[in-house]
């Protein structure tokens, strides 16, 4: 099974395509989509332009890695950053529409579920997530930036939760 994990962002979107089984996953491709935020002082221009850029980059990515399904991290709204969540919702909307237009299966995962699946704790730090991903894939170093590690964890969680055989469990704290 080939699955693409996406950690949405309006400046940096992490992505990771993996294949294989939960016990032996391999990385097909992983990286970030960096969107130009040079005109961020004018949201009426910047946000629509970045959304269009995101759509084009995501279409290119889907055509290049050819996943069977795409897992996207759900929206987390912190009461101190509601405006950021609204902007992020725009990016997720473009992603969800692009994925559906491509005819791909869509799996939406809550951030805490992804963290718990990989580390055993729904409140894991970025460093803990990076170390968990490094360990699962047997990497010499933790993936950087953290958006790449998050995307890898999202893809792994999708495999563990939605694609594992009946009775299968998540990755657990031990990986």
The active-site residue out of 73, 80, 131, 150 is 73
Q: How far apart are CA 29 and CA 8, in angstroms?
A: 17
Question: Is 7 an active-site residue?
Answer: yes
Point out the catalytic residue in the list 68, 147, 150, 162.
147
Please, are residues 17 and 2 in contact by the beta-carbon 8 Å criterion?
yes
d(CA 44, CA 32): 24
Q: Per the residue annotation, which of 7, 19, 57, 68 is the catalytic one?
A: 7
Known catalytic membership, residue 57 = no
- Strands (DSSP E) along the chain, which ranges? 2-7, 12-20, 25-34, 69-73, 105-109
Residue 80 annotated in active site: no
Q: Angle, nearest 10°, between helix axes 146-158 and 111-119? A: 80
Give the residue numbers marked as catalytic. 7, 73, 147
């Amino acid at each position: 099974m080939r699955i693409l994990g996406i950690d949405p962002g309006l400046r940096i979107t992490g992505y990771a395509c993996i294949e294989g089984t939960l016990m032996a996953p391999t990385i097909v491709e992983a990286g970030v989509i960096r969107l130009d935020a040079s005109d961020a002082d004018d949201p009426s221009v910047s946000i629509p332009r970045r959304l269009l850029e995101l759509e084009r980059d995501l279409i290119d990515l889907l055509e290049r890695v050819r996943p069977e399904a795409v897992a996207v991290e759900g929206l987390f709204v912190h009461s101190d950053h509601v405006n950021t969540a609204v902007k992020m919702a725009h990016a997720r909307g473009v992603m969800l529409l692009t994925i559906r237009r491509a005819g791909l299966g869509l799996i939406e995962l809550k951030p805490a579920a992804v963290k718990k699946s990989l580390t055993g704790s729904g409140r894991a730090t970025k460093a803990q997530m990076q170390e968990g991903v490094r360990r699962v894939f047997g990497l010499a170093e933790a993936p950087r930036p953290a958006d790449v590690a998050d995307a890898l964890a999202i893809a792994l969680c999708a495999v563990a939760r939605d694609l594992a055989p009946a009775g299968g469990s998540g990755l657990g704290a031990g990986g």
